[in-house]
């Protein structure tokens, strides 16, 4: 099975999230690929849309492998990080925080991200390969004292789903398919064009207008 694009994937995901329609929930999209999908889910379920602004700390020998994650407020490290020099982690954390500051200003301007306290957080992305970044992210979101954390995605590797399901910080996992033959998220989309910052800002603004009408 292949999704036509992120919009179609979002529509199918929204069907599986119907019980949250109009609830005290926030759709938290992971930029940038998760934003078009998150926008569709938020529109279908009549829920506000916001972003999860965090970035992974990559392993020094393999940058795609997450050893932790950073937000503007805090950070979390995996067990593997204990084998990594502390000065590398400190430098990466500072570098990532500078990028996140710039992204926050670019995406939000003078506005502020929504308060997450006592809300149901539905974290969405267009796909999950390893699950390491999502696991780090939910651990940090847990510190915001939400009512519940849900991870929702159209497609993920079986190993990623297993890891997320076993996380003590995740209350529910919704995944449309977890195929055994999983090489990359893009293989499950007919149209998997890169998402730029302009589109992210436009969809955030449109979602905000939708929530006030």
pLDDT, residue 202, reads 92
pLDDT, residue 184, reads 92
pLDDT along the chain (213 residues), means of 10: 96 97 95 94 95 88 84 82 93 93 87 90 94 84 94 96 95 96 95 94 88 64
pLDDT, residue 90, reads 94
pLDDT, residue 34, reads 94
Question: Could you give the CA distance from residue 211 to residue 208 in angstroms, rounded to a whole number?
Answer: 5
Question: Could you give the CA distance from residue 151 to residue 178 in angstroms, rounded to a whole number?
Answer: 14
Q: Model-level pTM?
A: 0.90
Contact call for residues 110 and 203 (beta carbons, < 8 A): no
pLDDT, residue 6, reads 97
Q: Sketch the domain layout of the chain as residue ranges.
A: 6-52+114-211
Q: Is 38 left (phi over 0), alpha (psi -120 to 50) or beta?
A: alpha
pLDDT, residue 212, reads 63
pLDDT, residue 73, reads 79
Render pLDDT for 144-192 as a digit per residue (tens, 0 to 9).
999 999 999 999 999 999 999 999 999 999 999 999 999 999 999 999 9
pLDDT, residue 63, reads 83
Residue 29 CB contacts under 8 Å (≥ 6 apart), including other chains: 35, 37, 38, 39, 49, 50, 51, 52, 124, 125
Long-range contacts of 101-107 (CB under 8 A, 24+ apart): 101/72, 103/31, 103/53, 104/53, 104/72, 106/197, 106/201, 107/31, 107/51, 107/53, 107/197, 107/200, 107/201, 107/204
Distance in angstroms between the alpha carbons of the first and the last residue of the chain: 36
Q: Which fold has domain 6-52+114-211?
A: Rossmann fold (3.40.50)
pLDDT, residue 213, reads 58
């Amino acid at each position: 099975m292949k999704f036509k694009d992120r919009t179609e994937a979002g529509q199918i995901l929204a069907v599986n999230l119907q019980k949250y329609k109009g609830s005290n929930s926030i759709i938290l999209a992971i930029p940038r690929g998760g934003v078009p999908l998150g926008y569709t889910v938020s529109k279908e379920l009549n829920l506000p849309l916001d972003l999860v602004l965090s970035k992974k700390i990559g392993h020094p020998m393999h940058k795609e492998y997450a050893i932790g994650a950073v937000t503007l407020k805090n950070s979390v490290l995996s067990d593997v990080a204990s084998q990594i020099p502390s000065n590398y982690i400190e430098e990466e954390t500072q570098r990532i925080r500078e990028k996140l500051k710039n992204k926050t200003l670019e995406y939000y301007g003078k506005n502020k991200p929504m308060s997450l306290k006592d809300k149901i957080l539905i974290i969405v992305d267009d796909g999950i390969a390893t699950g390491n970044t999502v696991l780090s992210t939910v651990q940090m979101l847990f510190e915001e004292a939400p009512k519940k954390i849900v991870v929702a995605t159209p497609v993920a590797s079986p190993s990623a789903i297993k890891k997320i399901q076993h996380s003590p910080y995740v209350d529910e996992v919704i995944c449309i398919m977890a195929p055994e033959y999983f090489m990359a998220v893009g293989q499950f989309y007919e149209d998997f064009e890169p998402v730029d910052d302009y589109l992210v800002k436009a969809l955030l603004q449109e979602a905000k207008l939708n929530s006030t009408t």
